Amino acid sequence: MYHDFWDKLIKFWKKIEDEFVIWRVGALPGMAILVLVIIARLTGSLQLLEWVTLDYFLRLRPPEPRDERVLIVGIDEKDIQSVGTYPIPDREMAALLRTLQKYEPRAIGLDIVRDIPVEPGNSELVAAFKDIKNLIGAEKVLPVEIAPPPALPPQQVGFVDAILDKDGKHRRSLLGTFTPQGYKFSLSLRLAETYLAAEGYFLDNCIHEPHAMCFGSTELSRFGSNSGGYVRADDGGVQVLLNFRSGGEKFRTLSLRDIKKGDFNPDWIRDRIVIIGITAPSIKDIVRTSAVPHLDPPGQVYGVEIHANSTSQIISAVVDGRTCLKTWSDGWEYLWIFCWGFLAIGLGRFTQSPFKNLLYVAVASISLIGVGYIFLVGGWWIPVAPALLVVTLNAVGLSAFAFYQYDQALRAQIAVRQHAIEDTFNVIHNGPLQTLANVLRSLRDQNLCQEQLLSELENLNYEIRSVGEYLKQQALTSEGSLLLGNGVKVDLNLPIHELFYEVHSNTLERTFPCFTTLKVTTRSFEPIETRYLSIEQKRGLCQFLEEALCNVGKYAKGVTLLKVLGTEKQGWYILSIKDNGIGSCSSSEGRGTKQCRNVAKQLGGEFRRESLAKGGTLCEVTFPVASRN
């Protein structure tokens, strides 16, 4: 029982060791890919890929209803043609502002720079600026400054600067920033602040982050230099990720002509935010984005629409609870990427089949995309692109590795089976077949009586059964042993020179006819350091020695002298069997000779069998030992 427990414990630890080796080798490509993706992300090489993923998810969101709180008055090409000139004269602009004010909007935003007079009618526009207290005018502060309308006080001015990413697209909204003239607010923030004040919400700084902005308990998630897929971005001032409204018509839009004709419902203006801007392609007040579907022209929105989205985002977050886009901290993001990387490595390890691995990785990738999309709908931008890149590259790399493993495993199985067949045949050849050959030869020569025949057959029966028991034991245990032809089992963990002595002694005790004439037997085996030979190499050498001695016993007629020597000379070990008999060297190459040649080949040495000039046969294998350091 103790022996069984010990065997089970050894097998258990062997499995752990094998698993550790598999993980160490198999996980290295996956870990290398994971590290490379992390480095690529840290250097900013994946920014564009993550931006594209964000834009794609934003386009796929479910449609939202039109925000009725924001109205756009877009001055389009037909308006410019009807006025007959551009810029729109101050008189036309003053008339537009007076008309809108009659319908009592909460705030009017003028997304048209008016730093210098555009005659005729500048005095009328100046008067309108002074009379309309809920009007917010435009200025530019970064990088080139354009002054606001001189008639407007600072609290009625907001900047209209847009922050573009390196691909030229708009994904962030600048709400406030320091300038040489002091701290300034954006047009969209000024409009939202005016609207929300009537609802009882006032702009303030957040308690836990003084530089962030909030209205009541609603915090506007501040953009950081490493937010989401950004790496070392300019996060100056107070910025937020722009969460475009989804759906077809996001805001109601009227033209200058519609206002002049009164072709609108007054409720569209009353108590709303009205933003006046240019929607004429020829003026090129256009910003690029990929986050909004069904644009005409594709990928382009007018500046006034950007301000409408930014204003709506703030009001919707405060009043409706619509989420602002948020991101995880760096630690959580990289933990997320690591988890997906280890998942891909685990799939490659436990599926084992390359086809199953590809299938499971495809399922994992689709799941990852689905999870990323669900998070974005909920207002969280998580790192989907780098995680997907890790999974995909691991799928390709580990699948290729899995194909290689599969091929290697198949080759290993074939090699193991071939080795088992080879070892089995060698044991049978050096044991029962040698005995059977001896019996057949004696019967042909008619010098075997019935009692001797019965004894030989009983011996043959014993040897065959011993082979069966030996092979069964070998299959059940991992011990290194060899069954000799007379049924004696030797321990291959012993030093090779001791094994040679055992093989020599046991083989000479077998009842081969030529052994009966032996008078002088010389044997000497020099030791070989254990590190030079594996168990299988020892097995091959012992089988070679046994085969050579059996040949002497069967074929060396009249042999009286047998020399068996194992010597080391200049880094080579020579194992030789020399006799003075007649007929032990045959010109034909049988199974035994092939076995000897295979042993020599495995050892990186040479085998030779030749007749000696003075009579007898030399059988010898030579192999290197010093070069095995």
Of 292, 327, 362, which residue constitutes the final position of a domain? 327
Residue found by looking up tokens 């069964």 in the block? 472
For the chain, the domain total comes to 3
Boundary of a domain, candidates 453, 475, 497: 475
Q: Are residues 76 and 90 in the same domain?
A: yes
The reply to whether 336 and 218 lie within a common domain is: no
Q: Which of 327, 346, 363 is the last residue of a domain?
A: 327
**CA-based nearest residue to 112, from 316, 274, 288, 299:** 274
Extract the tokens encoding 554: 């069967």
Residue 246 and residue 336 in one domain:
no
Q: Quick one: 200 and 334 in the same domain?
A: no
Q: For residue 602, what pLDDT is reported?
A: 84
H/E segment holding residue 137: strand 135-139
Rg over CA atoms, the chain: 46
Asked if 398 contacts 32 with a C-beta cutoff of 8 angstroms, the reply is no
**Is 191 found in the same domain as 218?**
yes
Whether the model pTM is above 0.75: no
The pLDDT of residue 531 is 77
CATH number of residue 624's parent domain = 3.30.565.10
Claim to verify: residue 224 and residue 250 sit in the same structural domain: yes
Instruction: Indicate whether 21 and 69 sit together in one domain.
Output: no
Pair 147, 184 in one domain: yes
75 shares a domain with 10: no
Which ranges of 523-629 would DSSP assign to H, the alpha helix?
535-555, 591-603
Asked if residue 315 and residue 223 are part of one domain, the reply reads yes
- Predicted pLDDT at 538: 87
Give residue 557's pLDDT. Answer: 86
Residue 54 contacts residue 171 (beta carbons within 8 Å): yes
Q: Residues of the chain whose pLDDT is less than 70?
A: 1-27, 348-354, 397-479, 584-592, 626-629
Secondary structure (DSSP) of 327-361: E--HHHHHHHHHHHHHHHHHHHHHH-SHHHHHHHH
- Calpha distance 386→582 (Å, rounded): 79
**What was the pLDDT predicted at 475?**
45
- Answer whether 389's CB lies under 8 Å from 372's CB: no
Instruction: Return the pLDDT at 14.
Output: 59
For residue 25, the model assigns a pLDDT of 55
Same domain, 112 and 27: no
Domain limits at 460? 1-43+329-475
Terminal Cα-to-Cα distance of the chain (whole angstroms): 41
Do 374 and 298 belong together in one domain? Answer: no
User: Would you state the pLDDT for residue 170?
Assistant: 95
